[in-house]
Amino acid sequence: MTRSFTLTRRAALAGFAGALAAPGIKPSMAQAAPIKVGVLHSLSGTMAISETALRDTVLMMVEHQNSKGGLLGRRLEAVVVDPASNWPLFAEKARELLQVHRVDVTFGCWTSVSRKSVLPVFEELNGMLFYPVQYEGEEESKNIFYTGAAPNQQAIPAVEYLMSDDGGGAKRIALLGTDYVYPRTTNRILRGFLNSKGIGNADIMEEYTPFGHSDWQGIVARVKRFASEGKKTAIVSTINGDANVPFYRELGNQGIKAEDIPCVAFSVGEEELAGIDTRPLVGHLAAWNYFMSVQSPANTEFLNLWRAYIKNPRRVTNDPMEATYTGFNMWAQAVTQARTTAVDAVRPAVIGQKFAAPAGYTEEMLPNHHLSKPVMIGEIQADGQFNIVWKTPNAVPAENWSQFIPENANRRRG
């Protein structure tokens, strides 16, 4: 018994000494209870291709904040769980973070089905979630801050661009998506928008495939037939996860070039293109609120921080990573302002926070828990980066309720 106690005590003292020796960790920080930061991202399954980088971004920010002295004199501690692209498991892992680990804040989710799985848990247990990915809107929760784009900050401007002279003047649209709430709701909004612009349902093709879908030959062939009927056609892709790899490969196999049938994606960025030969895809598009190629002092700082942390020159940044970074900084500013990590005190402090984001614009958290954000259209380059061909002059306030969803059309959108 004595020997066991001695070993335990030595281990504890060694851990305490290590904490004191860590860069930026002051003795008072080592003694105070840590601020726990939950990380709720899929590290396995179909969404790992996208979400692993977001886990890494949160870990980078925890380390960076600790190097600056932590928050409120306390160090930050990341608590990472893997919901494994399993939507019910997201709710279980959210409950574990809040009830077992008692995290002060959580950064997580990618798909809307995962967010909707955890939403009632965060509301029941009064947790705080920062959600960093573009989504379909039609939601507002006091327990969630949405740092990705609403439809008026991505989907609608992208389709307007495709219909413009600069974007090719599309008169027919093929809506291709993964079969879950985000693509279906976004495409419902886009169909209403297209109808309002005089494009009838006969000129709209709409198809959905399961997560992880790999056989794209038939669908891409149908798109080619749809485009051969005399009107300029474009593809709008809400395909998510690793299904994008065979989809883009099939576009190349069937010779679909951007000048003939441009494809604009809402869920494909630098991280997803890293595993694809992008040479046949040059000129195809993505709509985001940030690209790694943005030229701004804030992006230089973000890229330098990422490269120093990840120590792998091949690892890229992308829009959801930037949204995670922006959300983390706004949360840290709010905690400092509130002088506590208590959710009920931090929540109002987040509203109105401003941050000079890597996208090159100052973004602000609005009362609807969504950000003002710029909108950008980028063309895929042979090296897997994007050349920005269009962007808004200012940050656009989010409208989380769409006028093209009749049951919510009269709700306040901003």
pLDDT digits (tens, 9 = 90+) for 315-344: 999 999 999 999 999 999 999 999 999 999
Task: Kindly indicate the confidence band of residue 182, based on its pLDDT and cuts at 50, 70 and 90.
Answer: very high
d(CA 113, CA 108): 12
Backbone angles phi, psi at 80, to 5 degrees: -105, 130
Residue 29: pLDDT above 70? no
Cα 276 to Cα 249, 272, 282, distances in angstroms? 8, 8, 12
| pLDDT of amino acid 277 | 84
Average pLDDT over residues 40-61: 97
Cα gap 252→27, rounded to integer Å: 58
pLDDT at 408: 85
Sign of CA pseudo-dihedral 152, 332, 142, 106: positive
The single residue listed with the structure tokens 């573009």 is 134
Beta bridge mates, 354: 364
Residues 265 and 248 sit within 8 Å (Cβ to Cβ): no
Q: What's the whole-number average pLDDT of the chain?
A: 92
Apex 181 CA angle, 179 and 182, nearest 5: 95
CATH 3.40.50.2300 residue ranges of the chain are: 23-150+295-364, 152-294+376-408
Check whether 8 has a pLDDT greater than 50. Answer: no
| Cα gap 290→389, rounded to integer Å | 12
Please, which residues bridge with residue 204 across strands? Answer: 173
Phi–psi pair at 243, nearest 5 degrees: -65, -20
For the domain 152-294+376-408, what is the CATH superfamily, name and number?
Response regulator (3.40.50.2300)
Residue 411 has pLDDT above 60, yes or no: yes
What CATH number labels 23-150+295-364?
Answer: 3.40.50.2300
Ordered strands of the 105-108 beta sheet? 76-81, 35-40, 105-108, 129-131, 144-146
List, in order, residues 6 or more apart from 367 with CB less than 8 Å away: 351
Q: 245 or 287: which carries more pLDDT confidence?
A: 287
User: What pLDDT does residue 64 have?
Assistant: 98
Predicted local confidence at residue 6, as pLDDT:
33
d(CA 334, CA 341): 9
**Residue 280 pLDDT grade (very low, low, confident, very high; cuts 50, 70, 90):** confident
Q: Which two tokens stand for residue 109?
A: 């989710």
